[in-house]
């Protein structure tokens, strides 16, 4: 049985089917859709993805016919009884039933934070987490033709949605409690995102907590301690929390992050129950601690391992190094490993170097300059992380550092990598090599 | 003293200056330019690089004024006497002189193969190796307005020049002795290059050795055993050989590849003489043997190490994993490690897997499918190499495998990498992960 059928859940179901053709597999999903790319929601709003169903990978019909998996939407699991191995489910008619499982994969995902401020339940106030959320927002945009959007939160979703709303011609303001956007980047990289958003006409208000939303039926104003902003659309983009209530109520142990504690086999503390995806913690290979980093790529990997093991296999998911990338208007921003703050919190003594270097040979047309920051541990000399921003060539370049982190390389070793070179794609000294060399110097070595 | 002042040579000179501000540094270069990006020559011909001087990184004037390095063009070193530590130089006037050195960096580069066929010295027959070659070809294009170009050789330069000539509107035929283009790729990848060239109107004749060029003063026809092709421009692109005659005559040992044998410190067998760049061998970290892989990126790295050591330092260049990338019309092609043939020659028992997978999330507009081939050793389970082709996202994706090769990873370890994911840049399962997983299966593991 799978509880929650988006990325991790349906990966688990599919994997379990591949391993065991005879297993009976049912997946309950509270929303109206299973197996969709929720990371694509901003591009549904911007119009780059044309129809909500384009985000769906496999429909319930195809799960049934092609994989013999019963995927039931609008079926909410209300309770898990791990001793009796039963769950209580509410079906679309509103009636509830109990049903048994032998093995359960808990993949209830994350939920969007909804700040408890006055007016949070006005019409025109949205979160963007499920495909249902996306469809509701699209309908509001079509039905009410709002002109002024205020986004509360400047994390990944906040930044991506600022671009999406600008793309469809809205005035956009972003209100963020913290002093900068993308706060899991170092400040110098956040600053590049801030400048890019401003260049694209987004009004930015940092260090301002949300106090209230005002309006009649519809939202009309956003109030912070410093100002009142007109708004006819508000998006809460203040981050994602694990949807772990069901787990906690069932006696499944949560970790220090508030997400479900899991082993490398995706086992919870309760026999017969695995957890995967945005409801679960992930082992961070750099800090060697559990972390909460809800990402679709990780969800799929964890789901695969949970499904394999739920069907009697023995797979493991070693963990992540904290890699992430996003597009912010004309800028690609990426990070991997630990930021300077995270490195300090994990007990390292971080030093860093920042370079700006071309994405292509200096004479080849197009391209631009990439900012690369490399973070290393003064003590051990080990690479701890890297961050990048630039108009192109950032997304997959960060993966060089991600791979180097998995291999526990030093900046010196990164500086000696045999990376691809041709004028349309890189300068003869790739920005990665230049940045690694600068970090070697910071560590006290010869540059 | 630097003998040969393009990539490796001027890197060495610049590095030596950084290490020792007081060193007297002179560089002799036989051609008319120093310190230029010869990899950019195809883009000079295509017009994407507007002027020859755009390829120059640092002029002799700036070497003098900014770095106190005397860079003398059109000064050909005719002989080295390693016992007396002198060289014989011919200056632009044609007169020769002898001069002493304490330490010498030999960086005479590579020379383009010129097949010894009748008619090879006709007007309109070119090689493309130096900036002088590029300028001569440009002048011929402007002065004679040729319509039909025949390229002899379908390696990197042959393929890039087919694109360049098509870009400026020429009819292009390629004649290649071997049965396929880019023969250091596996045949399935070569096939993608072949199809892309054909799609772009290039006539291709494989398995046909060049027999003769015919014409009056200018070249008019290219003759193979199977056909005679009309041509008013012929480019020899049959590969690069080390320009090692000067070295050999001076008693400097050449390796099995015909290039100068060097240590990781870039020392030759002759005290006081270093070698770097396209004249030198490079250590291949996969085969653990010397190889001849002339590339600008390697030349710069070797030059840097030679310069550091020539000035009294102690740097090393561990070697390469065989990474290369090129653009062939709308296709990016990249490789790293050993090809299947190379792996066999190096004593491995290669197995491989090929996948085709999207470069972006399936719902995100643009992008295309990337072909990824992973080669691994059946015996040890070790990753041996990877090759890729696709319309985007290939150049830097190959570097994930390059980094994994440096770290001696297995396909299993690659399949678990935490790679960057966002809809505009990658699908949730990156093609690299999908291909690595397929290779795990080929090796007999669980997929």
Name the residue of chain A whose CA is nearest to B328's CA: A424
> For the segment B191-224, what is each residue's pLDDT rounded down to a tens digit?
999 999 999 999 999 999 999 999 999 999 999 9
Residue A103 lies in a domain: yes
- The confidence score (pLDDT) of residue B445 equals 78
- For chain B, the straight-line distance linking the first and the last C-alpha, in angstroms and rounded, comes to 56
Q: What is the mean pLDDT of residues A276-291?
A: 97
Give φ, ψ of A109 to 5 degrees.
Answer: 75, -155
Which chain A residues touch B396 with a CB distance below 8 Å?
393, 396-397, 399-400, 420, 425-426
Residue A164 pLDDT grade (very low, low, confident, very high; cuts 50, 70, 90): very high
- Residue numbers in B near A420 (CB within 8 A): 323-325, 334, 336, 395-396, 398-399, 402
Nearest CA-CA distance, residue B411 and chain A, Å:
13
- pLDDT tens track for A12-44: 999 999 999 999 999 999 999 999 999 999 999
Q: Which pLDDT value is given to residue B447?
A: 63
| The pLDDT of residue A237 | 97
State the smallest CA–CA distance between residue B301 and chain A in angstroms.
8
- Considering the domain boundaries, does residue B181 fall inside one? yes
The answer to whether residue A392 is domain-embedded is yes
**Residue at a domain's end among A206, A222, A238:** A238
Catalytically active residues of A are 39
> Is residue A229 domain-shared with residue A245, that is, in the same domain?
no
Question: Strand A212-215 and strand A96-100: pairing?
Answer: unpaired
The percent of residues above 70 in pLDDT, for chain A, comes to 100
Long-range interactions of B131-137: CB distance < 8 A, separation 24+: B131/B31, B131/B32, B131/B33, B131/B36, B131/B38, B131/B41, B131/B52, B131/B55, B131/B56, B132/B31, B132/B32, B132/B33, B133/B41, B134/B41, B134/B44, B134/B45, B134/B52, B134/B55, B135/B52, B137/B45, B137/B235
Partners of A426 on chain B (C-beta within 8 Å) are 325, 395-396
Q: Do B399 and A400 make contact, defined as CB atoms within 8 angstroms?
A: yes
What's the average model confidence in pLDDT over A329-347?
A: 98
B55 against A445, higher pLDDT: B55
Which residue among A310, A335, A356 closes a domain? A310
CB contact under 8 A, A326 and B404: no
CATH classification of the domain holding B128: 3.50.50.60
User: Least CB-CB distance to B396: which of A300, A393, A428?
Assistant: A393
At B70 the pLDDT is: 98
A229 and A266 belong to one structural domain: no
Q: State whether A222 and A247 are in the same domain.
A: no
A428/B325 touch (CB, cutoff 8 Å), yes or no = no
Q: Are residues A252 and A204 in the same domain?
A: no
- pLDDT of amino acid B223: 98
User: Which residues from A are below 8 Å from B324, CB to CB?
Assistant: 420-422
B99 and B118 fall within a common domain = no
Question: Tell me: the pLDDT tens digits for A57-91?
Answer: 999 999 999 999 999 999 999 999 999 999 999 99
Query: Do B16 and B162 reside in the same domain of the chain?
Result: no
Cβ pair A420:B396 closer than 8 A: yes
Are residues A373 and A334 in contact, defined by beta-carbon separation less than 8 angstroms? no
- Residue B299 falls inside a structural domain: yes
- Active-site choice (B39, B49, B57, B203): B39
Sites in chain B below the pLDDT cut of 50: none
Helix/strand/coil (H, E, C) string of chain A?
CEECCCHHHHHHHHHHHHHCCCCCEEEECCCCCCCECHHHHHHHHCCCCCCHHHHECCCHHHHHHHHCEEEECCCEEEEEECCCCEEEEECCCCCEEEEECCCEEECCCEEECCCCCCCCCCECEEECCCHHHHHHHHHHHHHHCCCEEEEECCCHHHHHHHHHHHHCCCEEEEEECCCCCCCCCCHHHHHHHHHHHHHCCEEEEECCCCCEEEECCEEEEEECCCCEEECCEEEECCCEEECCHHHHHCCCCECCCCCECCCCCCECCCCCEEECHHHECEEECCCCEEECCCCHHHHHHHHHHHHHHHCCCCCCCCCECCCEEEEECCEEEEEEECCHHHHHHCCCCEEEEEEEEECCCCCCCCCCEEEEEEEEECCCCCEEEEEEEECCCCCCCHHHHHHHHHCCCCHHHHHCCCCCCCCCCCCCCCHHHHHHHHHHHHCCCCC
User: Does the residue B318 lie in any domain?
Assistant: no
Inside any domain, residue A317: no
Using a CB-CB distance cutoff of 8 angstroms, which residues of chain A are in contact with residue B285?
418
Instruction: Encode pLDDT of A99-153 as tens digits.
Output: 999 999 999 999 999 999 999 999 999 999 999 999 999 999 999 999 999 999 9
Q: So what's the pLDDT on residue A447?
A: 63
Q: What is the interface pTM, i.e. ipTM, of the complex?
A: 0.97
C-alpha distance from B54 to closest chain A C-alpha (Å): 6
Domain identity same for B248 and B391: no
Q: Is residue B146 located within the same domain as residue B166?
A: yes
- Total domains in chain B come to 3
Based on the fold, state whether residues B423 and B392 are members of the same structural domain: yes
Q: How many CB pairs under 8 A join A and B?
A: 222
Give the burial class of A157: count Cβ atoms within 10 A of its Cβ; 0-12 exposed, 13-18 middle, 19 or more buried.
Answer: buried
Q: Would you place residue A376 in the very low, low, confident or very high pLDDT band (cuts 50, 70, 90)?
A: very high
Residue A446 has pLDDT above 80, yes or no: no
| Average confidence score pLDDT of chain A | 97
pLDDT digits (tens, 9 = 90+) for A394-432: 999 999 999 999 999 999 999 999 999 999 999 999 999
Chain A residue numbers touching B399 (CB-CB < 8 A): 396-397, 399-400, 417, 419-420, 430, 432
Chain B's closest residue to A53, CA to CA, is B363
Q: Residue A319 domain-assigned?
A: no
Q: Domain boundary at B275, B310, B345, which?
A: B310
Closest-CA residue of chain A to B430: A297
**Residues B41 and B7 occupy one common structural domain:** yes
Q: How far apart are CA A260 and CA B427, in angstroms?
A: 26
- Do A69 and A105 share a domain, yes or no? yes
The reply to whether B319 falls in a domain is no
Distance to chain B for A28, nearest Cα, Å = 22
Are both B281 and B173 inside the same structural domain? Answer: no
Give residue B391's domain range.
324-442
């Amino acid at each position: 049985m799978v509880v929650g059928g988006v990325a991790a859940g349906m990966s688990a179901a599919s994997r379990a089917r591949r391993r065991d053709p005879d297993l009976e597999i049912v997946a309950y999903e509270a929303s109206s859709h299973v197996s969709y790319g929720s990371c694509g929601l901003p591009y549904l709003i911007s119009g780059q993805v044309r129809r909500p169903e384009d985000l769906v990978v496999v429909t319930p019909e195809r799960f049934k016919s092609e994989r013999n998996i019963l995927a039931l939407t609008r079926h909410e699991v209300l309770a898990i009884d791990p001793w009796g191995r039963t769950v209580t489910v509410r079906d679309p008619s509103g009636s509830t039933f109990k049903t048994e499982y032998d093995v359960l994969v808990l993949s209830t995902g994350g939920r969007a934070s909804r700040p408890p401020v006055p007016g949070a339940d006005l019409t025109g106030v949205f979160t963007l987490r499920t495909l249902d959320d996306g469809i509701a927002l699209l309908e509001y945009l079509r039905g009410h033709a709002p002109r002024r959007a205020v986004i509360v939160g400047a994390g990944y979703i906040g930044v991506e949605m600022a671009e999406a709303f600008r793309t469809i011609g809205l005035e956009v303001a972003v209100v963020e409690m913290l002093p900068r956007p993308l706060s899991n980047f170092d400040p110098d990289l956040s600053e590049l995102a801030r400048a890019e958003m401003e260049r694209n006409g987004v009004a930015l208000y940092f260090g301002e907590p949300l106090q209230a939303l005002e309006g009649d039926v519809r939202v009309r104003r956003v109030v912070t301690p410093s100002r009142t902003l007109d708004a006819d659309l508000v998006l809460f983009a203040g981050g994602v929390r694990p949807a772990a209530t069901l787990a906690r109520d069932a006696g499944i142990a949560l970790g220090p992050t508030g997400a479900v504690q899991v082993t490398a086999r995706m086992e919870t503390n309760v026999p017969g129950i695995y957890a995967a995806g945005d409801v679960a913690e992930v082992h961070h290979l750099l800090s060697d601690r559990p972390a909460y980093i809800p990402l679709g790529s990780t969800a799929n990997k964890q789901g695969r391992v949970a499904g394999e093991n739920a069907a009697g296999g023995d797979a493991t998911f070693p963990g992540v190094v904290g890699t992430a990338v996003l597009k912010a208007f004309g800028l690609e921003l990426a990070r991997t490993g630990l930021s300077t703050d995270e490195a300090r919190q994990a007990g390292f003594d971080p030093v860093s170097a920042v370079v700006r270097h071309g994405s292509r040979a200096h004479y080849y047309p197009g391209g631009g300059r990439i900012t690369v920051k490399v973070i290393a541990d003064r003590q051990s000399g080990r690479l701890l992380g890297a961050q990048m921003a630039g108009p192109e060539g950032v997304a997959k370049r960060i993966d060089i550092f991600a791979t180097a982190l998995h291999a526990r390389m030093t900046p010196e070793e990164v500086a000696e990598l045999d990376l691809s070179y041709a004028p349309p794609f890189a300068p003869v000294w790739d920005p990665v090599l230049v940045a690694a060399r600068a970090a070697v110097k910071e560590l006290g070595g010869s540059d």
